[in-house]
Amino acid sequence: MVSPMSARDDRVRLKHMLDASRVVEAFAAGRTREDLDRDLQLTFALARAVEIVAEAAKDVSEERRMHHPGVPWRAIAATHHRLVHDPLALDLDRLWHIVSVDVPVLIPHLRDALGETP
């Protein structure tokens, strides 16, 4: 059983994940993969927001993770590792996939985990 403090911490982490995911959506709105090649500021902003999602995810308790199997916890952890430990080798195609495919799929799962309605 998750302790009340741990549950609160998990909730805070999930909220950070959701907030950063919404930032990703806002920054990526109306953009294309090619914009990452042309706009270094956009690329860094998106990479940082994705990193925040991944950083918060890595500390969510195992019990909470088991209650939300729709969240790709392992893939998020792998993204965190790549962004933090090898930031100069940023794969823009992979970043765009995360931004345009993975994050939009993740948001409803996070909203559900937090008990938010659409």
Q: What is the pLDDT of residues 5-32, one digit of tens each?
A: 577 899 999 999 999 999 999 999 999 9
Contact 28, 99 (CB under 8 A): yes
**Chain-centre distance for alpha carbon 88:** 19
For helices 103-113 and 4-28, give the axis angle rounded to 10 degrees.
150
What predicted TM-score, i.e. pTM, was given to this entire model?
0.88
pLDDT, one tens digit per residue, over 43-99 is 999 999 999 999 999 999 999 999 999 999 989 988 887 887 776 778 999 999 999
Measured CA to CA, the distance from residue 70 to residue 90 in angstroms comes to 26
The length of the chain, given as a count of residues:
118
